[in-house]
């Protein structure tokens, strides 16, 4: 579904992304791990067109997206949940969800599935996003991305600062979405056990390049925990 080939990116004279190539496949969770500052978030922003790449190619569902704008990528079916959630604090839960549907037909109802995935949101439709707990805000951020019915969901550290009970709920939702078979999921994560339990395939980044990759079931055998330990 997503194909990235030989992507390079620079900040000033620093080579941030170094010849990265990988694929994210429908029905699978591809987990990207690495210590802070190795280029993970830069890669995700490049995938969404928020940061232009210096060289390389990117394709989504077989169509080139390397020069497409962020909104064109979103309309094509790429959903993005940024690090830190970035919900609209002054808007209600309902308004946040409708922002995720901004380019869909006017009057289209919020997909009921979102409230099946995250029941707490149905109880808080009229509450402002800024009044929710960190875990509830993360659920809202994921639901907002899902409201556009993406076929690729990109998540940047969804467990950051979240209580364990909600981490389990988020993991359950990610696995459920992947198991439907029609969505590819790219997950950037620091929490090793969470990443290992979800990964169908994994990538480990260090200094802007991949130093290990393989099947999720191979992570322990390949010593991935030690590679990403802070």
Domains assigned to the chain: 2-90+149-228 (3.40.50.300)
For the record, the structure tokens of 30 come out as 């591809």
Q: Say if residue 120's pLDDT is above 90.
A: yes
Q: Say if residue 104's pLDDT is above 80.
A: no
Q: Say if residue 137's pLDDT is above 90.
A: yes
Residue 68 CA, chain-centre distance (Å), reads 19
pLDDT at 45 (0 to 100): 94
Beta-carbon count within 10 A of 179 CB:
11
Alpha helices in the chain (DSSP H): 40-47, 70-76, 93-99, 113-117, 119-122, 134-146, 164-179, 192-198, 224-228
Rounded to an integer, the average pLDDT of 170-198 is: 95
Q: Say if residue 230's pLDDT is above 70.
A: no
pLDDT above 70 covers what percent of the chain?
100
Rounded to an integer, the average pLDDT of 100-115 is: 86
Q: What's the predicted TM-score (pTM) here? A: 0.93
- Burial of 129 from C-beta contacts in 10 A (0-12 / 13-18 / 19+): buried
pLDDT at 14 (0 to 100): 86
């Amino acid at each position: 579904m997503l194909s990235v080939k030989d992507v390079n990116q620079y900040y000033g004279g620093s080579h941030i992304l170094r010849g990265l190539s990988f694929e994210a496949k429908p029905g699978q969770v591809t987990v990207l791990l690495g210590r802070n500052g190795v280029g993970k978030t830069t890669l995700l922003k490049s995938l969404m067109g928020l940061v232009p790449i210096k060289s390389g190619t990117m394709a989504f569902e077989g169509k080139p997206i390397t020069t497409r704008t962020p909104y064109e990528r979103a309309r094509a079916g790429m959903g993005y949940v940024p690090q830190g959630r970035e919900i609209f604090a002054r808007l209600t839960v309902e308004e946040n969800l409708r922002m995720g549907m901004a380019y869909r037909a006017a009057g289209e109802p919020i997909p009921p599935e979102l409230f099946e995935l995250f029941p707490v949101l149905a109880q808080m439709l009229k509450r402002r996003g800024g009044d929710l707990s960190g875990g509830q805000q993360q659920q809202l951020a994921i639901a907002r991305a899902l409201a556009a019915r993406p076929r690729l969901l990109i998540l940047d550290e969804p467990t950051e600062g979240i209580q364990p009970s909600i981490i389990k709920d988020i993991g359950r939702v990610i696995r459920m979405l992947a198991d439907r078979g029609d969505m590819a999921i790219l997950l950037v994560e620091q929490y090793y056990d969470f990443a290992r339990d979800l990964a169908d395939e994994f990538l480990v980044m260090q200094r802007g390049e991949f130093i290990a990759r393989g099947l999720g079931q191979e992570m322990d055998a390949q010593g991935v925990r030690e590679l990403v330990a802070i």
